[in-house]
Structure formats: C-alpha cells, structure tokens
C-alpha cells in the first residue's frame, strides 16, 4: 500500500510517543467525494453539504408551491467552507469589555450576541437569515462532516439531530418528549483552526486542537463559535416559544426514530456561544454563554427575544455542594457562592433549571452538568462520557472523585483523559472526526487504529450504545 501523508505519519509518531496509539495506520488514502457535493458559491473543497433531505424533485415541486404563495423556501443548504489560510489578527470589539468588572458581564454577553447577529440577519423571512455566504460584514463558516449518519445534517438549514428533551424539562405543561436540532457557526479565528484540521479533506489532522503536539495548537484567542438550537416542542406546551422564530427542517417524527423523516417547522429555543478569551486563561481559556428564547417579549426583531441565561469562565471546582434542580423549573435560583460565572437575574428570562450546583446550563441541557463540564470532555476518540457517571440516578454519587473530575478547570487544548487527543472543548469537532472515521471504515473497508479499541462512531454519552437513543450531548 502507498504510504500515508507526511502529516499523518507525524501524527502517528507523536501519538506513539505519548503512548496513545499502538500501531501506525497503513491504509491507503483515496479521493472519495464526487463533484455532486460541490458548493457552487465557494471553491470545491470536497466536503458534502448535508446528509438528510427530500429528493431533488420533491424539493423543486415544494419550492414551486411556496413561490405561488409568495413564500420563501430555504435551501438547499450549502456548507460554508472558505477557511482562511492565515490566522486573523483583529479580535472582536467586545473583547474590550472586562466581564469580571461588576455588571459589565451582561454588556459583554449582549455585545457578543450582536457580533453574531451582524450581517446574518437580513430582514424579511427569518428562514433567509444566518446564511454565511450572504454575510457582507464578516466571515462565518460551518464544520465539515456533520452530514454523516442517522443524526446527520438536513438539507434546509444544515441542522443536525442533537438531543432529546425529557417531559417537563422545560415547563410544567410540557407532557411529552421532544427533540433538539442545531447548527453551528465559526468566525474567522475558529475557521482558521478548522482549515488546519481539514486541510486535506481525505486525511484530517486531529492533533491541531491538542497543545501537546504544538504550542500554537488549539483555537486561538479571538475565536467565536455560536450555535442555534431548535425544537419541535409546541408553544402550547412551552409558553415562552410563543411568537416563534420558525425554520423549515427535515427531521425524524420522534427522537427515537432513525428514519421516515418529515418536513415540518421547528422553533428556536436556545443559542450557545464559546469564546476563546485570554482573561479566562486560568480557568481554561474559554468563556461560555447561553441564551433562552422568550417570545413573550415581542421584540420587533424576533432574534432579539434571545435572553441571556448567563456566562461562565470556570467550573468553580472548589464548590462541591450538591444542588440538582428538579423538573419542571418554576423559577431561576442563583447561587451567589459560585465565583466563575454569572446568571442573569432579569425577569425577562424564563425559569431555568441550570446545571449541577446551579452552574450555567441552557434550558435543553441536563441539570447534572454544566456548559464547561460537558465541553471539557471533547476529544478524539471520544472515550470520555459527556456527563458524570450515573447522572440519572435519584441520588447520583456527586461526592465521588469520578463525579468531581467533571468539574475541574482544564486548560484549553488539553485532553480530559490522557489517552485521547483534545478537541479543545469543541464537541462538534469530536463528532466530525468520529463521523469521518466511521465513514472510512464503512466505505474503504477494514479498520483504522483511531477506531480500534475505542468508540469512534459516536461519543460515548454516559455508556449508551452509539445506536441507542442518547442523552443530551453538548456539541458546539
């Protein structure tokens, strides 16, 4: 067989030196993508646009029906993949705000939200918003290889099937289980790193986000990643979803279904952000922000109904008192003993359950984790569960070392476990690399050693089989 690329050879040597892999890959690399996946708006880079969609004929017929009614039909989704080859230098303006100074954290949050909105909201139909190729203010990109498998991206907006929502997790009126679909966006700093990871579309470099393989590895300061999360939960069961921002999506009728997708409307419920800010360097180098949609505010621009839940720049590892909010949330309880985060006290915020110890978490997140806790596990292969062990028990073992290790402050670009590579807090990167590894095994045949001995098809979420319904992941 012909030799692998130099980059992969260096990866293997580095991993062997770290004791992570026991054998070098010898399988040949092939060009496997067809021109049918080409994005006509950007130079072809070999990355498919989406994985789940109605047929082209059905789409054209549906588009014609919409046009007769004067309505806009989104799609087909085009993957934004114009990754810069040089690292940007000008960080966003909101970095000038000291989020640790009094109440300036709320100004930081709102300015960060505005940064994500600028150039992505066009007016008219909200279905036409957040198309990076139309943004004339700043560059945003998507992550390749989110199209693969049963949970892969759909063809209207690129939404991936992400997680279930338990009954009453959102409100007392929510009597049924629903599901979450999401799409993420990466600014120029983040896109620079993605371009390094996926420089060779047929041979990604997973060491780019692990500092052990280079002092400049990981996402650089200035990185902004945001994700829009949608649900099929109706407003009559979740009252703050009134006056919704609705998108057309091609989704499964229920969370447990893996096929028989339907075209339906989903409603914006949450927005998450990850920001690489050096002022959080002692606690990981990342700042996490979360927003909850509240349609009762009736803002003229409906996107402005996204209300800050709060922010965190550390896991407060010294705080070990176990507080687990029950479902349904009836009010937002703020824990003033937490020092590495802030929760919004505004009455505009719908009641939130928050995470363990009342750390930051969004409405569709688990009450036994936190934004930073979950994201700190991101790696390849994804051998670490995204949530603490036995989180589902009535009285989980919150005082155990196994539990508390999920609430450490881990430096950026550092692995949660030493036997995997860090994806620098990005669970989306972990999933994309796992998807590609699964693809290669299935299409090219045989095994690659990043799959061997570790679950590479899907992140191991609390020990659940990759083919079973899984607890809420926190990819971003």
Q: How far apart are CA 74 and CA 56, in angstroms?
A: 13
Q: At a CB cut-off of 8 Å and minimum separation 6, what does 356 contact?
A: 322, 323, 324, 367, 368, 369, 370, 373, 388, 398, 407
| Pairing relationship of beta strands 341-343 and 178-186 according to DSSP bridges | unpaired
What number of CA atoms fall less than 13 Å from residue 132's CA on the CB side?
27
Shortest CA distance to 436 belongs to which of 425, 451, 422, 415? 451
Length of the chain: 476
Q: At a CB cut-off of 8 Å and minimum separation 6, what does 133 contact?
A: 41, 42, 78, 80
Q: What pLDDT score does 445 carry?
A: 75
Q: How far apart are CA 441 and CA 448, in angstroms?
A: 7
Q: What pLDDT score does 449 carry?
A: 58
Contact of 393 with 357, CB cutoff 8 Å:
no
Q: What is the DSSP string of 383-422?
A: -S-SS-TTTTSSS--TTSHHHHGGGS-PPTT--SSTTSEE
Q: What pLDDT score does 464 carry?
A: 31
Shortest CA distance to 184 belongs to which of 234, 230, 115, 251? 230
Q: What pLDDT score does 442 carry?
A: 81
Q: What pLDDT score does 471 carry?
A: 34
Count of CB atoms situated within 10 Å of the CB of 143: 29
Paired with 163 in beta bridges are 180
Q: What pLDDT score does 447 carry?
A: 63
Q: At a CB cut-off of 8 Å and minimum separation 6, what does 395 contact?
A: none
Backbone phi, psi, residue 373, to 5°:
-60, -50
- In order along its 476 residues, the chain shows pLDDT tens digits of 333 333 333 333 233 233 332 222 222 222 222 223 333 344 445 799 999 999 999 999 999 999 999 999 999 999 999 999 999 999 999 999 999 999 999 999 999 999 999 999 998 899 999 999 999 999 999 999 999 999 999 999 999 999 999 999 999 999 999 999 999 999 999 999 999 999 999 899 999 999 999 999 999 999 999 999 999 999 999 999 999 999 999 999 999 999 899 999 999 999 999 999 999 976 679 999 999 999 999 999 999 999 999 999 999 999 999 999 999 999 999 999 999 999 999 999 999 999 999 999 999 999 999 999 999 999 999 999 999 999 989 899 999 999 999 999 999 999 999 989 999 999 999 999 999 999 988 877 776 655 554 444 444 333 333 333 333 333 33
Q: How far apart are CA 209 and CA 196, in angstroms?
A: 9
Q: At a CB cut-off of 8 Å and minimum separation 6, what does 13 contact?
A: 24
Shortest CA distance to 431 belongs to which of 390, 389, 462, 461? 461
Contact of 233 with 227, CB cutoff 8 Å:
no
């Amino acid at each position: 067989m012909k030799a692998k690329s130099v980059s992969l050879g260096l990866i293997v040597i580095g991993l062997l030196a770290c004791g992570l892999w026991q054998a070098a890959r010898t399988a040949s690399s092939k060009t496997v993508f067809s021109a049918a996946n080409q994005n006509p708006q950007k130079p072809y880079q070999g990355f498919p646009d989406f994985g789940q969609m109605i047929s082209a004929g059905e789409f054209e017929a549906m588009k014609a029906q919409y046009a007769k009614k004067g309505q806009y039909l989104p799609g087909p989704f085009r993957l934004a993949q114009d990754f810069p080859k040089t690292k940007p230098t000008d960080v966003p303006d909101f970095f000038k705000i000291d989020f640790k100074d009094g109440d300036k954290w709320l100004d930081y949050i709102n300015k960060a939200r505005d940064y994500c909105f600028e150039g992505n909201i066009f007016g008219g139909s909200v279905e036409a918003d957040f198309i990076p190729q139309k943004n004339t203010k700043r560059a945003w990109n998507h992550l390749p290889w989110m199209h693969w498998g049963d949970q892969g991206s759909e063809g209207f907006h690129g939404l991936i099937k992400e997680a279930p929502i338990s009954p009453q997790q959102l409100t007392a009126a929510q009597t049924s289980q629903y599901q979450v679909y999401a799409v993420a966006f990466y600014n120029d700093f983040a896109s620079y790193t993605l371009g390094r990871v996926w420089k060779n579309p047929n041979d990604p470099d997973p060491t780019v986000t692990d500092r052990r393989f280079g002092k400049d590895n990981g996402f650089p300061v200035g990185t902004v990643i945001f994700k829009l999360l949608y649900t099929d939960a109706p407003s009559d069961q979740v009252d703050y979803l009134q006056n919704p921002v609705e998108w057309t999506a091609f989704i499964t009728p229920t969370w447990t279904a893996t096929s028989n997708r339907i075209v339906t409307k989903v409603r914006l419920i949450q927005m998450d952000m990850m920001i690489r800010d050096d002022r959080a360097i002692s606690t990981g180098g990342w700042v996490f922000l979360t927003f909850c949609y509240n349609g009762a505010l009736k803002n003229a621009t409906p996107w402005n109904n996204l209300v800050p839940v709060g922010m965190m720049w550390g896991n407060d590892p010294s705080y070990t008192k176990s507080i687990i909010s029950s479902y349904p949330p009836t009010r937002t309880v703020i824990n003033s003993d937490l020092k590495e985060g802030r929760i919004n006290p505004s009455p505009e915020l719908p009641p939130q359950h928050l995470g363990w110890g009342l750390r930051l978490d969004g409405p569709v997140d688990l009450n036994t984790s936190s934004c930073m806790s979950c994201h700190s596990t991101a790696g390849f292969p994804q051998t670490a569960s995204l949530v603490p062990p036995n989180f589902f028990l009535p009285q989980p073992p919150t005082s155990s070392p196994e539990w508390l290790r999920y609430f450490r402050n881990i430096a950026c670009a550092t692995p949660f476990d030493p036997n995997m590579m860090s994806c620098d807090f990005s669970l989306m990167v972990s999933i994309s690399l796992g998807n590609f590894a699964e693809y290669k095994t299935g299409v090219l045949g045989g095994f690659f050693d990043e799959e061997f001995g570790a679950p590479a098809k899907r992140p191991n979420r609390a020990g659940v089989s990759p083919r079973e319904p899984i607890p809420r992941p926190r990819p971003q």
